[in-house]
Chains A and B, each alone.
Chain A
Amino acid sequence: MLRSGLLHSSWNKISELRASRAHQVQTPGLGIKLFQETKYTVAVFVAPPINITCPLNSASTLLSGTEEQNPFHFLCSEKISSFSLHTPAFQLFDSAYKNLFGLKKELLESKKPVIITGAALGGSVASLFTIWLLETVEAKLKRPLCITFGSPLIGDAKLQEILENSLRNSCFLHVAYASQTPMKPNFKPFGTFLICFDSECLCIDDPEAVMELLGGASAVDQIDYGEVLDRLDQTVMEDSRLMIDDVITRMEERAEKKKVRFDQLKKLNDIKISMIYIEWYKKKSKMSKIGYYDRFKTHLVSSASPFDVDIEKRKIEVNDYWRSLVEEVEKKPQSEKSVLKTRSLFSGNNYRRMVEPLDIAEYYHNGGREYRASGRSRHYVMLEKWFREAYPKEQHRGKGTDLSELLTFDSCFWSEVEDALIMIKSLNTQEGDREALLSKLVRFEEYVWEMISKREVSPEIFLEKSSFMKWWKEYKEIIKGFRSSDFTKFMKDRMYERYGQAC
């Protein structure tokens, strides 16, 4: 890395710009200059020395809220909606916002790769600007590189957590002299660090290890990194190896943990196989005219066959998989959400429609009510939301399509059935407001009818022993003589027997 010349040339540009500003008296604020090199564009940030403008331990600024309030709004995720930045750096950034806006536009249009650099507080602003420039990152696009020299940390643990889950993290190289880079309490590093000692250096990206190696209280402006780089350049040629054993051991442990987390997501194929089992379970249940929802519900009550027990295990397995996948995606900054690829979006949707009914069965078996409003796991909500965002209008099923393998579009359908059954029970025991209950039941009827007309519901709901048919039998008695509709006709004339068949 040292021999590439990128670090030297960045430092030289900073020195050049600093020198050109030195003879101007009392330059307040930020200095920015663009250098057009043959192979790349370099944007250099120079800021006033840290000890003049502000004490190092100056406060941090909490950023949250909408786009208007927070220029870094795009970093927020479902999980993390706010984070804190180093106040002096943010103020400098904010004061030059208009200029930076123009620079952002220019750099985004640049055909050459972009290097953004700065030393001390200038480097902090360079980092902030780079994050801002990376509002849209795509794996295939050329990424810019931000090189800072001896800059204080700019953000808190939340910012670090956001960036850790993002490609953006790969765009930062912080060169820092070990003993002279003060740490601010609660602030955390991100990106890759080149930590310099007297004649050696170490390149790491593990934030905890960086924290352990950096430290010290002295001011950071006075170091000439040009000299540091030259000195290191000499030693790199010889065989030098810096060993800080315990730091390395701990790094390895963390890397191992990260790997385990990653491996969990890798067993996609096992999940597919479990889904095949559940699919088969559904088929078998249909053959015994009960429907897999009701079979699952029944076996929760009475003793179960080994197949039922196995399905219960597989349900837990696939749930765990999707729950952790959704969690990972939720940590991603919102501008990177498209990482959930089309294929996983569809398999996630398929999973939700297949497995959520089983969770509903369990929920009502345990005495729950109003699942949709108060019992639903967050990962189902998110999967549905993301799917809707990507496909606001789902294709209707063709008129002649055989629906026998269709999964009901609304994965909460069975909870609506359960709630309707509870209402009927209340009616029969004369609890509650009869009129209100009746109108709710009619609403449920309309809801079902709409799905039937749109061919969005599985024909399995009409199986003899299904809860839905149980509801219908009781509902039929209640409305006898005073209500008839397309739906009641459809049910009474047993037109459902031909529902969903291919023609």
Chain B
Amino acid sequence: MALDFIPGISKALIATSWRLSTKPYTTNDQFHQEVVEDNTVVVAFRRSFLEKDWFAPANESSFGETKMDPAEFPSMISFSNDVDADARATVNEAFLKSLQLLISPSCTQSVKTLVENMRPRRIVFTGHSSGGATAILAAVWYLETFFTKKCSDFPVCLTFGAPLVGDYVFKHGLGRENWSRLFVNFVTRFDIVPRIMLAPKASTKQALPYALSQLGRTRAPIQENDQTIAGFYATVMKDVETAARQAACELIDGENAFLETFSSFLELSPYRPAGTFVFSTGTRFVEMSNSDAILQILFYAYQSTNEQELSERPNQSIRDHHGYEEMVDSMGTKDVYQLDLNHFLSDGGEYALFDLRLSTSARECVRAAFEAEKKRNDNQSKIETTITKQSTTKKSIEEKLKWIEEEYKQPRCQAPAKGYYDSFKESNDDNDFKANVTRAELAGFFDDVLGLMKKGQLPDGFEGDSDWIKLATGYRRLMEPLDIANYYRHLKNEDTGSYMGKGRRPKRYKHAQKLDEHDLLKSGGTAEKIMASCLSICFWAEVEDLRGKKYDEVTNEGTVEERVTKLENFLIDEKVDDHIFLEGSTVTKWWHSLPEHHKRSSLLQQRMGYTRAT
């Protein structure tokens, strides 16, 4: 079977990447570069076996982790985890720092300058060991900085025995942007390095500098009875076990309050596998990208019940950390087995699991990981069916939106009507009632989907899918005015305050807006354009809030006069729908209720058909 992890990545390119990743440095340079195959450039990052390059010395958290800055990494975020406060991705600070050094303007040999010169050539980011970690972050940075949805020359990241770099949100962000496929991590079976980050700093601290120095020595093998090394490997694997077993419990049991309490007493690593992993098993390669399953394999593939075998593991592990030469050489001759959901469902992944010598309970855990993936996929197809296909009892989501747009909104948005906002607010007509029921049905659907996203029960890519973003944005633009009308019709502002106040605006709209904004950002939209996209719906709430205020009042959001002017400017500058200015519309009625002296100098005069009172 051919190697086809990523189209266009040849065996030769992988070999070049490996060679460059391990090429010695004679200077202070931090990376090597080489142009190959005309249009591709390989950038390999320097590895280090010094403790400070693995755990940032000043970092006080248990796993040396830090949050990514959303200004620099706008995609490394979860939008659905908590709609009110974006969950930022967590990554290892030492690895992030080594990247930041290379992209800072003061850097003499800057990656930034390099890639700017090399574009539009395709770039392969690569590295061995900690160099692989830098490569991963460099690739993410490159995607964030230079890529908009229109680009096609995607970079690739190939790592050899790299440690884990980021957490669940990091993995989720890569998945949502459809970038996961660009990351391929080669891992030999017993290599300890991809497992090290699953252990807390505290438990490995003393032995780590020594263990790293041993890993750095490519030639002389360690003494058979080196107790420090044996202890280090045992400790790391115990923590890997805790992480893997805890993750398996969550996969099998789902939400469980006791498990939650219990795990708060354990030091659980935030790091999770991201991208594709290719394990070498001796007889073949096993390729997989289910993060949960990879985590289980990282633990179980190392396990043994045989004392003799276990005592040999440290040596094997060090050998394996440098065993990528052999892995690269055997590419093309050995079989590649794809352990993905489809294969797993058809033959239970027998070959791969046998090669990795997994026990029965290990297979159960891997199975649970795939079952969870299947459930996510099933949830997605259920949603997609609801969107497009009409069931016997219910109309599809698309049909409902279409009805609102064509049968409800349009006829109400031409004079002498008042616009669909006000028509809905008054609700005197059978169709207003019908629209109200449709509003609630749609809300139920979008709330359910958001609930699934929040619990991680949809594929990571679902939120980033352009069809979904389009649907959610269309829904928000069409329906949110009706929700605002409903809110003010029932005087909820007198009970709980403004629609835009904390905890009032439905989360489904906040989330849809975030996706829309992110999409605009990714396609190169400006900050102004993004701001306007939000206001174009929510100005209704602002009008309603201002209606209840006196012109000379001072509110928490500034004086009423300022707010009025701001709103007017928006109505003039942006291409808002004409129906907003129909006679009898809330906007028109509100504007005419403003004091004469304001109207006289207002820019909206013409639009409102204002003639000065004589």
Chain A, Cβ-Cβ closest to B304:
A237
A406 to B490, CA, bound (A): 7
Partner of B265 from the list A115, A272, A350, A397 (CB cut-off 8 Å) is A115
B197 CB, nearest partner CB in chain A, Å: 19
Do B548 and A398 touch (CB < 8 A)?
Answer: yes
Chain B, Cβ-Cβ closest to A283:
B427
Do B258 and A170 touch (CB < 8 A)?
Answer: yes
* A and B contact pairs by CB, cutoff 8 A, 13 listed: A3-B245, A4-B242, A6-B265, A143-B261, A145-B261, A170-B257, A239-B359, A269-B444, A272-B443, A276-B433, A397-B491, A401-B491, A401-B494
User: Does A87 count as interface, using CB distance less than 8 angstroms?
Assistant: no
Q: Please judge, given known A-B contacts A192-B258, A405-B491, whether A143 and B436 are in contact too, CB under 8 Å.
A: no
Do B427 and A397 touch (CB < 8 A)?
Answer: no
A41 to B359, CA, bound (A): 37
A192 to B267, CA, bound (A): 21
Per-residue CB contact flags for chain B residues 259-277 toward chain A (1 = under 8 Å, else 0) read: 0111011110000000000
Per-residue CB contact flags for chain A residues 326-358 toward chain B (1 = under 8 Å, else 0) read: 000000000000000011001000100000000
A357 to B257, CA, bound (A): 40
Contacts of A19 in B (CB 8 A): none
User: Does A167 count as interface, using CB distance less than 8 angstroms?
Assistant: yes
Per-residue CB contact flags for chain A residues 266-290 toward chain B (1 = under 8 Å, else 0) read: 0001101100110110010001000
A269 to B439, CA, bound (A): 11
Contacts of B433 in A (CB 8 A): 276, 280, 283
Do A173 and B258 touch (CB < 8 A)?
Answer: yes
A293 to B258, CA, bound (A): 49
Do B264 and A142 touch (CB < 8 A)?
Answer: yes
Partner of B440 from the list A167, A171, A269 (CB cut-off 8 Å) is A269
A205 to B257, CA, bound (A): 11
User: Does B503 count as interface, using CB distance less than 8 angstroms?
Assistant: yes
Chain A, Cβ-Cβ closest to B62:
A39
Query: Which residue of A6, A169, A273 has the most chain B CB atoms within 10 A of its CB atom?
Result: A273
A6 to B264, CA, bound (A): 12
B234 CB, nearest partner CB in chain A, Å: 13
Per-residue CB contact flags for chain B residues 425-465 toward chain A (1 = under 8 Å, else 0) read: 00110000100110011011001000000000000000000
Do A3 and B437 touch (CB < 8 A)?
Answer: no
A4 to B264, CA, bound (A): 12
Do B258 and A273 touch (CB < 8 A)?
Answer: no
Do B360 and A170 touch (CB < 8 A)?
Answer: no
A213 to B275, CA, bound (A): 45
User: Does B489 count as interface, using CB distance less than 8 angstroms?
Assistant: yes
Do B437 and A277 touch (CB < 8 A)?
Answer: yes
User: Does B517 count as interface, using CB distance less than 8 angstroms?
Assistant: no
By a beta-carbon cutoff of 8 Å, the part of chain B in contact with chain A is 202, 238, 241-242, 245, 256-258, 260-262, 264-267, 305, 359-361, 427-428, 433, 436-437, 440-441, 443-444, 447, 489-492, 494-496, 503, 548
Per-residue CB contact flags for chain A residues 1-30 toward chain B (1 = under 8 Å, else 0) read: 101101000000000000000000000000
Other than the given A191-B258, A273-B440, 18 more pairs (CB < 8 A) read A3-B242, A39-B265, A113-B264, A113-B265, A169-B258, A170-B256, A170-B260, A192-B258, A205-B258, A239-B360, A269-B441, A272-B443, A273-B441, A280-B433, A287-B428, A342-B503, A343-B503, A394-B495
A206 CB, nearest partner CB in chain B, Å: 12
Contacts of A283 in B (CB 8 A): 427-428, 433
Do A395 and B494 touch (CB < 8 A)?
Answer: yes
Contacts of B245 in A (CB 8 A): 3
A371 to B352, CA, bound (A): 72
User: Does A433 count as interface, using CB distance less than 8 angstroms?
Assistant: no
A272 to B438, CA, bound (A): 11
Chain A, Cβ-Cβ closest to B266:
A4
B200 CB, nearest partner CB in chain A, Å: 9
Contacts of A39 in B (CB 8 A): 265, 267
Per-residue CB contact flags for chain A residues 404-415 toward chain B (1 = under 8 Å, else 0) read: 011000000000
A142 to B265, CA, bound (A): 10
A449 to B247, CA, bound (A): 64
Do A145 and B265 touch (CB < 8 A)?
Answer: yes
Chain A, Cβ-Cβ closest to B436:
A276
Q: Please judge, given known A-B contacts A169-B257, A238-B305, A406-B491, whether A269 and B264 are in contact too, CB under 8 Å.
A: no
Partner of B436 from the list A142, A280, A398 (CB cut-off 8 Å) is A280
Within 8 A of B (CB), among A223-239: 237-239
Chain B, Cβ-Cβ closest to A146:
B261
Contacts of A401 in B (CB 8 A): 491, 494
B278 CB, nearest partner CB in chain A, Å: 28
Q: Please judge, given known A-B contacts A39-B267, A143-B264, whether A3 and B494 are in contact too, CB under 8 Å.
A: no
Per-residue CB contact flags for chain A residues 204-246 toward chain B (1 = under 8 Å, else 0) read: 0100000000000000000000000000000001110100000
Partner of B241 from the list A3, A167, A172 (CB cut-off 8 Å) is A3
Contacts of B262 in A (CB 8 A): 1, 4, 6, 145, 173
Q: Please judge, given known A-B contacts A6-B265, A169-B257, A401-B494, whether A239 and B361 are in contact too, CB under 8 Å.
A: yes
B608 CB, nearest partner CB in chain A, Å: 20
B324 CB, nearest partner CB in chain A, Å: 31
A169 to B245, CA, bound (A): 23
Per-residue CB contact flags for chain A residues 97-113 toward chain B (1 = under 8 Å, else 0) read: 00000000000000001
Contacts of B492 in A (CB 8 A): 346
A7 CB, nearest partner CB in chain B, Å: 10
User: Does A40 count as interface, using CB distance less than 8 angstroms?
Assistant: yes
Query: Which residue of B267, B428, B437 has the most chain A CB atoms within 10 A of its CB atom?
Result: B437
A273 to B438, CA, bound (A): 9
Chain B, Cβ-Cβ closest to A6:
B265
Chain B, Cβ-Cβ closest to A169:
B257
Contacts of A113 in B (CB 8 A): 264-265
Contacts of B359 in A (CB 8 A): 239
A272 CB, nearest partner CB in chain B, Å: 5
Chain A, Cβ-Cβ closest to B200:
A39
Partner of B494 from the list A142, A280, A287, A398 (CB cut-off 8 Å) is A398
Partner of A167 from the list B257, B443, B503 (CB cut-off 8 Å) is B257
A268 CB, nearest partner CB in chain B, Å: 8
A40 to B267, CA, bound (A): 11
Per-residue CB contact flags for chain A residues 143-182 toward chain B (1 = under 8 Å, else 0) read: 1010000000000000000000001011111000000000
Do B491 and A269 touch (CB < 8 A)?
Answer: no
A113 to B443, CA, bound (A): 40
A287 to B426, CA, bound (A): 13
A173 to B263, CA, bound (A): 13
Contacts of B428 in A (CB 8 A): 283, 287
Contacts of A343 in B (CB 8 A): 503
A83 to B331, CA, bound (A): 70
A173 to B258, CA, bound (A): 8
A346 to B490, CA, bound (A): 12
A71 CB, nearest partner CB in chain B, Å: 23
Q: Please judge, given known A-B contacts A4-B266, A169-B257, A269-B444, whether A405 and B489 are in contact too, CB under 8 Å.
A: yes
B586 CB, nearest partner CB in chain A, Å: 12
Contacts of B489 in A (CB 8 A): 405
Contacts of B443 in A (CB 8 A): 269, 272
Q: Please judge, given known A-B contacts A273-B440, A276-B433, A405-B491, whether A171 and B241 are in contact too, CB under 8 Å.
A: no
A255 CB, nearest partner CB in chain B, Å: 11
Contacts of B267 in A (CB 8 A): 39
A487 to B381, CA, bound (A): 63
Do A272 and B440 touch (CB < 8 A)?
Answer: yes
Contacts of A277 in B (CB 8 A): 437
Chain B, Cβ-Cβ closest to A1:
B262
Chain B, Cβ-Cβ closest to A237:
B305
Chain B, Cβ-Cβ closest to A277:
B437
Do A346 and B258 touch (CB < 8 A)?
Answer: no
Contacts of A269 in B (CB 8 A): 440-441, 443-444, 447
- The 9 tightest CB contacts between A and B, nearest first, are A269-B444, A170-B257, A280-B433, A170-B258, A192-B258, A170-B261, A239-B360, A273-B440, A143-B261
Chain B, Cβ-Cβ closest to A281:
B433
Chain B, Cβ-Cβ closest to A3:
B241
A143 to B265, CA, bound (A): 10
A3 to B443, CA, bound (A): 45
